[in-house]
């Protein structure tokens, strides 16, 4: 009867190994990092993940904030409360702003003013134009200043209008961005 016990133990080891492999793949899939994205015309305007700090104003003018503990399909659980996505009127996106010189008219004004000042300064240094500060330099500085204001001054809250879509995504989504 020694052969029966060895076959049984081999089969038990196979079952244990297959169970561990199968449960490991399920665990890795179930614990993948979910993200909360706010989309406007198909572009991500804000992204939060589990562990991120979230601040918002609800439709009943209550302010909610806390660390995101869990993301579900239609709500999130923070360290202080549960927040349904449909009850959010405005959300704090101040932490979501990143410096981007190519941001529309602001970037055009800022870069255009700086480039004009550089080219004008090079022309003055080479003797092609008269030296000194002239009206063109004042206009270029005004354009660069207006562009810088348009780039750097951003609203603190994003109002949830009809064009904003809220989604909880996982790593299989096209909008997913791996954690840094």
Over residues 15-26, the pLDDT tens digits come to 665 555 455 444
Residue 60, SS3 per DSSP = coil
pLDDT of residue 20: 52
Q: Of 141, 142, 143, whose CA–CA distance to 109 is shortest?
A: 143
User: Which tokens in the block code for residue 62?
Assistant: 């209550």
Using pLDDT thresholds of 50, 70 and 90, give the confidence band for residue 101: low
* pLDDT tens profile 35-85: 888 888 888 888 888 888 888 889 998 999 889 899 988 889 888 888 998
Helix or strand run (H / E) with residue 74 = none
Q: How far apart are CA 99 and CA 23, in angstroms?
A: 43
Q: What are the domain boundaries of the chain?
A: 1-31, 33-93+157-169, 104-152
- Percent above pLDDT 70 for the chain: 76
- List Cβ neighbours of 18 (8 Å cut-off, separation of 6 or more): none
> Of all residues in the chain, what percent are helix, strand and coil, respectively (each to 5)?
40, 25, 30
| Tokens 């190994």, residue located | 17
Dihedral pair phi/psi, residue 153, rounded to 5°: -90, 110
pLDDT of residue 107: 85
């Amino acid at each position: 009867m020694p052969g029966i016990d060895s076959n049984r133990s081999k089969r038990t080891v196979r079952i244990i190994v297959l169970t561990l492999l199968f449960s490991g793949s399920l665990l890795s899939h179930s614990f993948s990092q979910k993200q909360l994205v706010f989309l406007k015309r198909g572009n991500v305007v804000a992204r939060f993940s589990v562990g991120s700090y979230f601040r918002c104003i609800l439709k009943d003018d209550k302010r909610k904030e806390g660390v995101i503990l869990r993301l579900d399909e239609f709500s999130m659980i923070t360290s202080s409360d549960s927040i349904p996505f449909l009850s959010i009127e405005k959300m704090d996106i101040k932490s979501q702003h990143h410096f981007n010189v190519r941001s529309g008219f602001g970037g055009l004004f800022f870069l255009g003013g700086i480039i004009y000042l550089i080219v004008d300064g090079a022309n003055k240094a080479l003797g092609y134009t008269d030296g000194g500060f002239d009206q063109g330099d004042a206009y270029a500085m005004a354009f660069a200043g207006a562009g810088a204001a348009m780039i750097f001054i951003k609203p603190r809250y994003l109002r949830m209008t009809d064009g904003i879509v809220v989604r909880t995504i996982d790593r299989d989504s096209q909008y997913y961005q791996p954690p840094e």
